[in-house]
Amino acid sequence: MADRIFCRNCGSPVEGSGTQCRVCGAVLSSSGGPTPAAPLPEAQPQPTSGNPGQPAAPGIYPYPYAYPPYYGVYPYGQSPAAPPNTQGAGAVPAPGYPAYPQGAPLGGGSYTPYYYGYPYAYPWAYTIPVKPRPAPGETYAKVVSGIVIGAGVLSILCALLVIGLSALIAAAGQFDNLPVQDLLLVPALTGTIGGGMAIYYGIRGIMRRPSPRFRLPHPLLFVGLTAVVLVGEIVLWHLELGSGPGPSITDVPLVLLSGVLPALAILSFTSWRLRMPATRRHVVMSLLYGLTLGPLLALILEIIVSIILRLLPSGASSLSASDPVNVIRLLLEISVAAPIIEEGVKPLGALLIMPRLRTPVSAFLVGLAGGIGFDMFETTFTYIGSGQADWIQVALVRVGAGLLHGLGAGMVALGWYYFINGKGVSRRWLKGIGCMAYAVAQHGIFNASSVLVDGLPEPLHGWLNQVFYVGKLPIAVIELPFFGLDLLILVMLIFITGRLMRPWNGASGPPVPAAIPAANSPTTAEPAPLGGTVR
């Protein structure tokens, strides 16, 4: 029954015959007792193996639930099933216990009921089953699962509403329009699929079913499929120049894939590079949050900010060097407000489960998944369809957008990790703020570039507004600097993930990450310093 053992300090599985928990660093050997990364509270339970009377190796829990017999509140008297009488009248005292004449009158013919609680109970069979107390953080996890189920139901209802709207528009003959199809089909698909998966994972979360490790296929598969989709569409675009295009609805699956596949390639790349450090439930739920609720929240907040900023006096409706107020307003809107809002909103799914994440790499990956989901929605919902017959050009330009959104969300989640789980980490507030500031700055610079290139002086402006051709497909030269920015962000992603994995790759063994903080938890230890993580 007790096939797997778990660290009693942090609950992580202990593989093989290791003498130290890979997660919290607690020493698992039986010689000197448990030596956690930080001192354990005094009221630690003393778990034993499933064999009554046989103490387990200190620091190790047998699993699942192979606890020693528990007697709970055991009133005076002897357990009917208790074989040897050690407590009753004339009983032989258990080793280490003084002879205690229970059953015999005490002082004046009365007695005081006495209760033996674990671990001082009788080390043999019992009759009163007691449901184990919830694990630390279990209630929180169930509340989160309930929220996820609620969001899933809401998501499906919204999707059904959108599907009804699509039917009305189709009936009115206005549906053969790629932007409209994207506007309707993307929320309908993400709402139903995301909502359904949210309910599934929410129910499994409430049932406390364990989730397997998140493993995607190798990133080269997604890179290859992305290339197939983009090259295939470039070929089709050329063919249709002569023969004429088909109905836009037949392009929708390719449009969706051209937005989803590059994003999956980035997620897979990061996951493989971090050696898959999170559960499928956490990564998928963060991704789905980024696909559904995240963009909705961002949209609402950005509309509010936009309305406020438009109260600023401005005479021009577009960017004009002669109207500095308008330039400032635009820059405030797209390179300050939008990055703060989007980088704040994208990792909220990861933030919700942050107390469950025990390593910076997990936090980074789960946060990045939220950004990837956000990018998938933004790219397919807002951008690609606007290209109409030339959507392939938009898809090419947006191929690296997942890097911006993914790395940004991962960094913000990392910042939250230091704030919430990083107790004991040196300068953790500075690190947390630094991670978040990087994400906002990266996004702000990217967005500001798209505004400022319009204000460049001639002949630079004219040169950037030229096109070059892939076959007959025109690509604006102005997009090249943004490809360069994407490349820089990819380099940053490689650098950050490399730093995050440095302690896991080191010869000195695994790092000592923070334990899951849970108040009033007998398994709570002080988070240990994150040796060798991002500095």
Partner 1 sequence: MISMPPSVERTTPVRPIPAEEIPLAKNSRGFFPSRFATIFGVVTIAATVIALILAAGGPLLVNHVSSDVPAGWTSVYDATPNDPASWRAQEGCNITAQGLDARGDQNQDGCGFVPSQENDLLSQGFILKATLAPDGSLKGYQAPFIAIKGGSDEVYVVFEQSGAYTVCINDCLRNTLNFTSAWHTDGFTTNSIAVEYRPGSDAQGSRIVVYANGQQIEAVAADISGNPTLVFGALREVDGIYGEALFTHLTLYSASGSSSSSGS
Site for partner 1 in 110-139 (CB under 8 A): 113, 115, 117-119, 130, 132-138
Among 329, 346, 356, 398, binds partner 1 (CB under 8 A): 356
Structure tokens that stand for 175 in this block: 């549906």
Output 84 or 224, the one with its CB closest to partner 1: 224
- Please report how close the Cβ of residue 254 comes to partner 1 at its closest, in angstroms: 4
Q: Hey, is 348 helix, strand or coil? A: helix
Helix (H, G, I), strand (E, B) or coil at 467: strand
Query: What interhelical angle do 178-206 and 138-171 show, nearest 10?
Result: 150
> Of 511-530, which residues contact partner 1 (CB under 8 A)?
513, 516, 521-523
CB of 91 to partner 1, least distance (A): 22
Nearer to partner 1, 476 or 488 (CB): 476
Nearer to partner 1, 339 or 402 (CB): 402
Which is closer to partner 1, CB of 46 or CB of 426? 46
DSSP 385: G
Q: Which of 33, 77, 105, 217 binds partner 1 (CB under 8 A)?
A: 217
Sheet bearing 4-7, strands edge to edge: 13-14, 4-7, 60-63
Out of 2, 170, 236, 464, the residue judged to bind partner 1 by CB under 8 A: 236
Under DSSP, is residue 454 helix (H, G, I), strand (E, B) or coil?
Answer: helix
* CB distance 439 to 492 below 8 Å: no
Supply the DSSP string of 299-322, one letter for each residue.
HHHHHHHHHHHTTS--S-SS--TT
Q: Point out which span in 145-153, 292-300, 427-435, 509-517 binds partner 1 (CB under 8 A).
A: 509-517
Q: Is 265 in the site for partner 1 (CB under 8 A)?
A: no
Q: Please tell me whether residue 216 binds partner 1 under the rule CB under 8 A.
A: yes
What are 534's two structure tokens?
Answer: 């991002």
Non-local CB neighbours of 71 within 8 Å, separated by 6+ positions: 79, 116, 117, 118, 121, 122, 126, 128
Q: Which of residues 26-65 bind partner 1 (CB under 8 A)?
A: 43, 45, 47, 61, 63-65
Residue 353: name the closest of 411, 408, 286, 407 by CA: 286
Residue pair 401/342 in contact (Cβ under 8 Å)? The answer is no
Task: Choose one: 214-222, 320-328, 411-419, 438-446; the region binding partner 1 (CB under 8 A).
Answer: 214-222
* 8 Å CB contact between 136 and 145: no
User: What span, in angstroms and rounded, lies between the C-alpha atoms of 399 and 97?
Assistant: 72
Contacts of 352 (CB under 8 A, 6+ apart): 144, 147
Of positions 80, 95, 244, 457, contacts partner 1 by CB under 8 A: 244
Say how many C-beta atoms besides its own lie within 10 A of residue 264's C-beta: 22
Q: Which is nearer to partner 1, 139 or 487 (CB)?
A: 139
For the CB of residue 233, give the shortest distance to partner 1 in the complex, in Å. 7
Between 194 and 344, name the residue whose CB sits nearer to partner 1: 194
Among 50, 52, 146, 232, binds partner 1 (CB under 8 A): 232
Interacting residue with partner 1 among 388, 426, 455, 495 (CB under 8 A): 388
**Within 432-471, which residues bind partner 1 (CB under 8 A)?**
467
Single out the residue of 208, 310, 461, 535 in contact with partner 1 (rule: CB under 8 A).
208
Kindly state the tokens that stand for 265.
């390639």
427 binds partner 1 (CB under 8 A): no
The interface with partner 1 within residues 291-310 (CB under 8 A) comprises: none
C-alpha distances out from residue 403 to 14, 269, 310, 489, Å: 35, 11, 30, 6
As measured in angstroms, the least distance from the Cβ of 113 to partner 1 is 7
Among 32, 39, 75, 129, interactor with partner 1 by CB under 8 A:
75
By DSSP bridging, strand 13-14 and strand 4-7 are antiparallel
- How many residues bind to partner 1 according to rule CB under 8 A? 108
Neighbouring CB atoms inside 10 A of 12's CB total 18
Q: By C-beta, is 258 or 442 nearer to partner 1?
A: 258
